[in-house]
Structure 1
Amino acid sequence: MQALSSPAQRYIHDYPSYDFIDYEKNQLQYFGTAEPMQGFYQKLDRLVYRGEGQINILHVGGSHIQAGIWSGTIRETLHSLHPGIAAGRGLVFPYRAAKTNTPYDYSVDYGGGWEGCRNVEKNKDCDLGVMGISVTTKRNDAWLKIELKENPIIDYSFTEAIVYHSTDAQSYCFDFPNDPQASIQTFADKGYSKITFTRALDTLHLQVKQTDSLQHYFTCYGFKLENNRSGIYYNAVGVNGADVPAYLRSPNFARDLQASPPDLVIFSIGINDALYPGFSAQAYKENYRELIRRIKTVSPHVAIIFTTNNDSYFKRRYVNPNGEKVKQAMAELSLQYNAAVWDMYSIMGGRGSIDTWVSARLAKTDKLHFSAEGYRVIGGLLASALVQDYEKHILTRARR
């Protein structure tokens, strides 16, 4: 079996070349050893060469990730690398029920009245999980619906799902009107139910139902759409405005990972940590260390990629001086955890480069977020860097 498709077939998106992007820097850097990433690549070898196993990638961030375009571009690129490498869509959430934006590749509908809670809301006390967001209803006729949009290249239909939800005696039960015979196995101590559908679906329709007078509410923390195929799950977790402490306020973050322990975590949290002049690199690193500690209780040998912040302004008027500080902090964390770093800050041109990206319509005029095309560009760049690093592993393996 060929390891990967030819370079001409590799990427599903064609991107124009921009003279202000430093393509020579578009690579993964290691300030320690590459041992954890090599372990990840060995799992990828088994999948690519023998068609064996499922791989879970977790990409965590703020609004850059909630929008779904950056992570979605990487997902689709990886899933197009080789026949049979796409396992399923992975983590999704009914964002619209929480009155916030939904990723581009699925739609959300709901009924019955839902109240959202996000990990950036410090005044709320919510037992949040890995997705950092929840929706709660007190109505026994409420429902949620997530419909995957058709992908012309990749089949993301699902035959199984994980529902992360409240599981105490006061919580409503649920079923699935579009597949009444679906099997539901609940693991109350782990905070989720495993669903096996009788046929492949592209729509998840959850209907709340009351089966006991004690039941008076239901909280949903997210879904993972699965099937029994080998392949890669690229799971994206993003909450608008989230910094690293926001994910530390999700007490069930690590518990939820037990259902699908990550083999690789991509950290893109930092733009909200370092948005203002009072940024503390030391506190930033300590917060990351605690988050990594929690993840390693579930996946002790997890591989990690840190993505440095994009260049930005604060208050739209002042160049943010903290991009270099975040870059240095991530280099130090890379050394400590033998993690990789993808230096977006330098690749896009360094300090002040956001102005050029705005002029090229790759970034928005808030000088903080990218445009849809900009997110596709950085997604393609990171995917390219990851694939090229894996190809180096393949060449080294072939020489042995």
Structure 2
Amino acid sequence: MSKLITILMAALLCGCAARGDAAGGAPYAGYGVKFFGDSHLGSDALIDAFRRNFFVQNSVGFVPAMMPRYHANENVSFKQKGFEVISSRTEQDPDFPLCGVIATAKNGASVQIELKQLSGDFEVEILHKDAQAGEIFKVRDASGKSLYISQEKEGAWEYSRFRLSFPITITALRDGAKLGGYKIYRKNARFADSCASNGAFSNIYEKWGTGAFNRDFAKLKYNLVIIAYGTNDAMDPHFDEQKFYQSIRGLIHSVRSASPGAKILLVAPPRSPKVPSAARASAVLAKLARDERAMFYDVAGLMNEDGGWSGWRSMGLVRPDEIHLQKAGYERIGAALAGQLRSRL
């Protein structure tokens, strides 16, 4: 069934009553949503449809340093030169920030960051690291303001906070200086951001630094966290249900440590015929939702309303690889998910 399975609804609704926004008609004066997931979220199509159907956004939230190849963000675009970008999906680093992306400057590197859907001034926190203290980046915004980022503690991730107008350009003053992400927000921020990685397994968060969750969640209030892993785990011919359970459970606990008040929703993956253990993964997530007092949503329920996978294929919503969906398919899921949650939160 496509409905949300809610656990202890009275507790779920506590503190989440809708609040009117006379200026924009949004249901919440401030509301943050974080998505964690794999390639089904990597194009941002599902998440952007969720944003458009859930609230009127006024902020961006947390954004990785840059978008790795084949990934997109419908809120932000990057034009960079001279940065080496690595991802925790395929690379190793002992201290990946949240979302697992690091951009390291080479030969006078620069990056221009532009907002696609929003405009005006924002509070911007830039995550950076360098082996030596001192000025490492110059920031110039759309108003012509120029500011400098200084590394205070050698070899540690730090945030520098500014009020900026987009687009902004960040220029490296030192080879080897690193960027780890950005927080972009306003007062009473309404946003939905994501940590999505193509090909990611549910335990990818274990490759991020020990302080990533608490540090990179800070200053952004997340009311809802949506966890949508399972496709890559379930494609493994040796899929281990207990290992998958413990992996997602560990992520839930990391989220709750960083954002104790956030409600959590687990989303089961589509039932592609090329993902033999998708139904088993869904059953694990449903059990975990009960055990952890979370919510659960099964994408298969929505798809079954139109004939399941074969029905969506005939409607042109399935990609030729028979694992992923077309943009319109992801948009249908995002809109349906927003509708389900709007009626409950």
Q: Same fold per TM (> 0.5)?
A: yes
How large is the RMSD of aligned CA atoms in angstroms?
Answer: 2.8
Residue matched to 1:276: 236
Q: Which runs of 4+ in 1 moved over 4 A?
A: 46-53, 181-190
Listed as ranges, the matches of 1:66-81 within 5 Å are: 66-80=42-56
Residue matched to 2:344: 389
Q: Is 1:127 the equivalent of 2:95?
A: yes
Residue matched to 2:204: 246
Select 2:33's aligned residue among 48, 51, 57: 57
Select 1:195's aligned residue among 162, 181, 193: 162
Q: Is 1:205 the equivalent of 2:169?
A: yes
Select 1:108's aligned residue among 64, 72, 78: 78
- Deviation string 1:168-195 (CA, Å, 9 cap, x unpaired) is 5268622222343558697856632222
Listed as ranges, the matches of 1:1-400 within 5 Å are: 25-30=1-6, 32-35=7-10, 37-39=12-14, 41-42=16-17, 44-45=18-19, 54-80=30-56, 86-93=57-64, 95=66, 98-111=68-81, 113-121=82-90, 124-139=92-107, 141-149=108-116, 151=117, 155-166=118-129, 168-169=131-132, 173-178=136-141, 179-181=144-146, 191-197=158-164, 201-210=165-174, 216-228=175-187, 230-251=188-209, 252-254=211-213, 255-314=215-274, 320-349=275-304, 353-390=308-345
2:318 aligned partner, one-letter code: A
Residues 79 and 99 (structure 1 numbering): CA distance in 2 closer, same or farther, change over 3 Å? same
Cα shift at 1:377: 0.8
Q: Secondary structure at the match of 1:273?
A: helix
The TM-score normalised by the length of structure 1 is: 0.75
Cα shift at 1:258: 2.4
- Deviation string 1:334-374 (CA, Å, 9 cap, x unpaired) is 11221111111222129x93232222111101111110111
Distance in 2 between the 1:156 and 1:39 partners?
33
Q: Secondary structure at the match of 1:305?
A: strand
Distance in 2 between the 1:162 and 1:276 partners?
39
Q: Secondary structure at the match of 2:235?
A: coil
1:102 aligned partner, one-letter code: A
Structure 1: which 5+ runs fail to align? 1-24, 81-85, 211-215, 315-319, 391-400
Residue matched to 1:9: none
Distance in 2 between the 1:62 and 1:194 partners?
30
Q: Residues 119 and 242 of structure 1 are in contact (CA less than 8 Å); yes or no, is this contact kept in structure 2?
A: no
Residues 183 and 337 (structure 1 numbering): CA distance in 2 closer, same or farther, change over 3 Å? farther
- Deviation string 1:255-306 (CA, Å, 9 cap, x unpaired) is 3222425221100111111113311111001011111222222222321011
Q: Secondary structure at the match of 2:319?
A: coil
Distance in 2 between the 1:63 and 1:326 partners?
16
Distance in 1 between the 2:124 and 2:240 partners?
40
Cα shift at 1:332: 1.4
Q: Secondary structure at the match of 1:76?
A: helix
Distance in 1 between the 2:243 and 2:151 partners?
39
Cα shift at 1:378: 0.8
Cα shift at 1:144: 1.0
Distance in 2 between the 1:166 and 1:134 partners?
10
Cα shift at 1:381: 0.7
Moved more, 278-287 or 354-363: 354-363
Distance in 1 between the 2:173 and 2:29 partners?
36
Distance in 2 between the 1:74 and 1:227 partners?
20
Q: Residues 302 and 333 of structure 2 are in contact (CA less than 8 Å); yes or no, is this contact kept in structure 1?
A: no
Distance in 2 between the 1:376 and 1:289 partners?
27
Residues 159 and 206 (structure 1 numbering): CA distance in 2 closer, same or farther, change over 3 Å? same
Moved more, 359-368 or 248-257: 248-257
Q: Give identity over the alignment, percent.
A: 21
Q: Residues 102 and 108 of structure 1 are in contact (CA less than 8 Å); yes or no, is this contact kept in structure 2?
A: no
The TM-score normalised by the length of structure 2 is: 0.87
How many correspondences in the alignment?
A: 336
Moved more, 52-61 or 247-256: 52-61
Residues 335 and 52 (structure 1 numbering): CA distance in 2 closer, same or farther, change over 3 Å? closer
